Chain A
Amino acid sequence: MEILTQLIFSGIALGMIYAVIAFGYQLTFATSDTLNFGQGDALMLGALVGLTLVGMGVNYWLMIPIVCVFGAIQGAVVERIGVRPAIRIKSEFGWIMSTIALGIIFKNVAENVWGHDDLKFPSPLPESPIRLLGANVLPMEILVVVGAVAMMAAVELFNRKTIWGKAVVATFNDREAARLMGINTGLVITFSYALSSMSAALAGVMIAPLTLTGATMGAVLGLKAFAVAIIGGLTSGMGIIVGGIILGIAEKLTGFYLSTGYQDVPGLVLLLIVLAVRPAGLFGKTAIKKV
C-alpha cells in the first residue's frame, strides 16, 4: 500500500510535467493549427542551459527566469524558421518536417556541446524525502506540481485579463476575423510558440533534478506529452491535467510491476486507442465537418 501511494505521488509529479509540455502543444495548435515536433528538444535545451547556469554559480531560483527567456527566444526562432515559411507556402506537411528537422539539429548541437552522457542536475531542495500519507515524497516532486499549476494558471490569467491575452484568445477562436480586426496574428503565432517553448524549458528545469539531464531526454517526453494532449483533448485545459496524471501514474505502475523497459508503452498504447476510438480526446469537443 505504501509503495502504491508512493508510486501515485511520483506519477502525479511526472504527469504534471507532461501536462505542462502538452499545454505548450495546445497553445500553438490553437493559434496556428501547427505544433512543434521538437517540443521535447525545447525541454532538453532548457534543462541543459539551466544546468550550465547552475554550474556557473547562478542560484536555481534566479536561473529559472533566465531559462524561461531562453526558451521563449528558442520558440520564436522555431516559429520564424520552421513554421512561418511553411504556412506561407501552404505546404501540407512542410512544418512537420521542418520542426522535426530543427529538433534534430538542436539535439545534435546539444550532444556536441554537452556531450552524450547523462548529467546529474543538483537539486535546489533537500533530497531527503518527507512523509506524506505514509509515503515518501521528494520535496522536488511537490515543487514540480506547484510550479506546473502556477505556470498554467499564469498563462490563463494573462489570456483572460490583459489586452494582449485577449488578442491571443481572439486568434484561437477565429484567425481570419482576428486579423481583420487589426490583430497582428503572425505576431500572436510567434508569441504562442515562444510561450510554448518557454513552458517546455520550464518543465525541463523542473524535472531535471528528479531525473538525469542529457541530449536525448526530450524525445520520448515530447511524444508522451503529445499523447497527453490527445488523451485530454487539444482544446481542454482540464483534460491535459487529468490526462497527464493518468499517464504518469500508469507509467510508474508499469515500470514498477512489469519492467522499467516497458514504462513508455502504456502512454503510447493509450494514445493509439484514444485516437482510434475518440479522436477529439476524452475532454475535447468533436468538430462538425463542413462541406
Chain B
Amino acid sequence: MKSRPLLLAAVGLAALAGFPFVVANPYYIHLAQTIAIYAILLFGLDIVVGYTGQVSLGHAGLFGIGAYTAGVLFMKFSAPLLVTLLAGVVVTAGFGALLALPALRVTGPYLAMVTLAFGTIIQILINEMTDLTNGAMGITLQRPRLLGATLDERGFYFVICFLLVAALVVVHRILRSHLGRAFEALRGSPVASDCMGVSVYRYKVYAFVISAGLAGLAGSLYAYSEKYISPNTWNFELTVLLLLAIIMGGRKTRSGALLGAAIIVILPKLLDDLELFRYVSVTLAVVVVAGAAVLVARGRSTVARSAIPVIGSVTLAVLSFVLTSMTDWRLSIFGLITLLVVYYLQDGIVGYVRQSLGWRGHGADDAAQAATLAAPASAVSTSTAAGTGELVAADQVLMQFGGLKALNEVTLHVARGTIHGLIGPNGSGKSTMMNVLTGIYVPTAGAIAFKGQSIVGRTSARIALAGIARTFQNVQLFGEMTALQNVLVGLHHSYRSNLLDVALHLPRFRREEREAAARAYALLKFVGLESLAGEEARNLPYGKQRLLEIARALALNPELLLLDEPAAGLTAPDIKELVVIIRKIREHGITLILIEHHMDVVMSVCDVVTVLDFGQKIAEGTPAAVQSDPQVIKAYLGSEAH
C-alpha cells in the first residue's frame, strides 16, 4: 500500500536532481525554475480555492508583494537571500491576513470581486509608490549569494527545488491533518463547521495566511529567477491563469498543482511556435472528436451535449492554420481553454485520470486503516457531572425578524439527563429555538444559561466547545469528505498539535491523529455506519446522512445534544434503530432536546414535552398530559367545527 507513493517520490526526486545535468541549456533550467516557482504558488492557491472553496483573484497581487519585498530589500539594503526569502513570506502572509478580513464577511462572487480589487490596488501601488518600488522602471536583481558563493542558474535551481519539495511536504501534511479537514469543512458547510467548534473565522484567516505565505515565497524566488521585476507582471491575466492552472491540473491534489504549473509555463512557449501548435491542436481535435463519438455511440452523451467541445477544438485546429501568428491571439486561446476546462474537465486532469483509472482517494484508505486501530474504551463520551440540576435555562427568549416574532418570550428549562421533546406545527419556532441555543441567531431579548453560564452573544463555535452539539433539519454534512472525515471534524477539539507538530509529524500529532481516527471509527460503529466509513458523505442515502450527523455531533463530547427532526425521511425499521440510539445516548448521561414530527417517537422516548405554536409556548408536561391538552389538539387540528 505504502510502496507506490514512496517509489513515486524517489523517482520524482531523482528526476528533479538529475534534470540540470541531463539538460545543460540554461534556458530550459530557467523554465524548470519557473515551473517550480508557480507550483509553490499553486500549492498555496489550492488551499484557498480547492479546500476552502473561495475564489481568489488576488493571488497575482500576493505573488507581486512577495517579489517586491525581495526586490526592494535587495535594492535598498543588498539583503542576503535568506533574509529576503523569509521577509517575502512574512510580509505577504501579513497581506494575506488583510485580504482575509473582507473574506470573513463575504463569499462567492463578492469575494472574487473583492480579491480582484485587492490585486488591482496592489498593482496600482507598486506602480505609483516610486520611492519604494522604482515604479514603472522596475527593479533589477543580481544573482543571489548563498554560503559565500554566487549561485549560478543550476545552483539556484537546486535552491528552488529544495523549497519546492519542502513546500510540497508541509502543505500535504497540513492538508491531510485536522487543519486541512477544517478548511474542507468550511467549504462543505460553514454553519456546521461553526457548530462543530471549528471557527469559520479563524480557519479562513489561517487558510489565507498560509496561502499568502506560499505566494510570498514563490514571489521572492521569482524575483531572483527573473532578475528583473516590473509592475505589469502581476495583472488580471496572471490571476486568471493561476486559477486556470488549479482547475485544469486538478483541485485538491499536489500533483494537479505541479501539472497546472507546467501547463501554464509551457503553453505560452508552445503558442510562440506555430508549427508545434498546429500539431498539438490537430491532435487535440482528433482526440476530442473521437472521444465524443465513442461517448455518443455508447449512449453516455448526446450529440447536442458533445457539440460544443467538438466545435471548439475543431475551430482551434482550423484557426491554427488560418492565423499566421498565434501570439496576438494568445489570450483568446487561454479563454477558450478556460471555458472548455470549466465545463468538461471540472475535476482537472488529475481528477479525470483518477476517475477513469478508478483510483480511490486517500479518504478511503484512511477509513480502511482506521478500522484496524484498537477501539477506544467507549465511543460516546459520558457526561461526568451527573445529577438532576437544570442544564439549560432559557428565560423569556424573544427572537424577532423585522416585525415577525419567531419566538415570543419562550421559557424553556431542560433538566440534566432527560430527553426533552420540542414539538409544534410547522413555523412554530422550533428550529429557531435550536438556532438561538447554538448561537446562530442572537436573541433580541431574554436570557439563556447553559450549566449556569450565560451563552447569549457567544459565537457558535464557542458554544459548541462548551458542550452543545446539534444536528440539522436540512442535513449539513461536509459533502466531499468521507463519513470518517466528517466525524473527525467533530473531533477537531481533541487536537492540541500546532503547525510545527503537523509539518514535522511530531509524536504528539501522530498520537492524536491515531486516537482521533480510532474514536471516529468507533462513533461510526455506534450509529451503525462503520461499513460506509470511506464513502463520501454526499453519496450516502438520506437516512444514513442523518445518522452520520448524530455521530459527528457526538464527537464533540457534548453534554447537550439537539436533534432537529432526526427521523424525517427514515423508514420504519430505521426509526426503530434511531430510538435505540437515542436511548443509548441518554444512558451516557447526555441530555437531549428532540424536535420531531413523528409523534410515536416523541411519545415513546421523551420525559418532558414542550409545545410551541406561533412562537409561543402553549403547553409543557409529560407526553401523556401534553397529548390530551385541548390547546395542543387545537393547534394541530384546528378548533372543533361547530
Contacts and interface: CB of A to CB of B under 8 A. Distances in A.
A138 interface: no
A108 B335 contact: yes
A219 B120 CA distance: 10
B332 A109 contact: yes
Nearest to A285: B402
Given A269-B121, A291-B435, A261 B127 contact: yes
A272 B401 contact: no
A275 B109 CA distance: 12
Contact of B401 (A34, A93, A107, A288): A288
A101 interface: yes
Given A93-B112, A264-B124, A275-B114, A101 B335 contact: yes
Interface string B104-120: 11101110111011101
B106 A94 contact: no
B440 to A, nearest CB: 6
A276 B117 CA distance: 13
B114 A96 contact: no
Contacts of A282: none
B335 A279 contact: no
Interface in B568-602: none
A291 B440 contact: yes
Contacts of B332: 104-105, 108-109
A86 interface: yes
A91 B328 CA distance: 31
B328 A112 contact: yes
Given A35-B109, A97-B243, A108 B338 contact: no
Interface of A is mostly: helix
Interface stretch (A162-170, A194-202, A222-230): A222-230
Chain A interface residue bracket vs B: 35 or more
A98 B338 contact: yes
A220 interface: yes
A172 interface: no
A279 B106 contact: yes
A104 B244 CA distance: 13
A96 B112 contact: yes
Interface string A79-102: 001100110010111101110111
Interface stretch (B3-11, B173-181, B258-266, B339-347): B339-347
B105 A276 contact: yes
Give the most central of A105, A262, A291: most B CB within 10 Å. A291
Interface string B171-203: 000000000000000000001000000000000
Contacts of B412: none
A193 to B, nearest CB: 15
Interface in A88-147: 89, 91-94, 96-98, 100-102, 104-105, 107-109, 111-112
Contact of A276 (B101, B113, B346): B101
Nearest to A35: B109
A271 interface: yes
B109 A98 contact: no
A91 B342 CA distance: 9
B616 interface: no
Contact of A291 (B101, B114, B243, B474): B474
B128 A104 contact: no
A143 B225 CA distance: 52
A97 B328 contact: no
A223 B332 CA distance: 21
B16 interface: no
B354 to A, nearest CB: 19
Give the most central of B105, B237, B336, B476: most A CB within 10 Å. B105
Contact of B339 (A81, A89, A92, A220): A81
A152 interface: no
B117 A102 contact: no
Nearest to B432: A291
Contacts of B53: 92
Contacts of B472: 291
B55 interface: yes
Contacts of A108: 328-332, 335
A105 B240 CA distance: 12
Contacts of A111: 328
A223 B116 contact: yes
A81 B335 CA distance: 12
Contacts of B338: 97-98, 100-101, 104
14 contacts: A86-B343, A89-B346, A96-B108, A101-B334, A104-B335, A219-B236, A226-B113, A230-B113, A268-B117, A271-B114, A272-B114, A275-B106, A275-B110, A276-B104
9 tightest Cβ-Cβ pairs between the two chains A and B: A105-B335, A101-B338, A108-B331, A268-B117, A108-B332, A101-B335, A104-B335, A261-B128, A275-B102
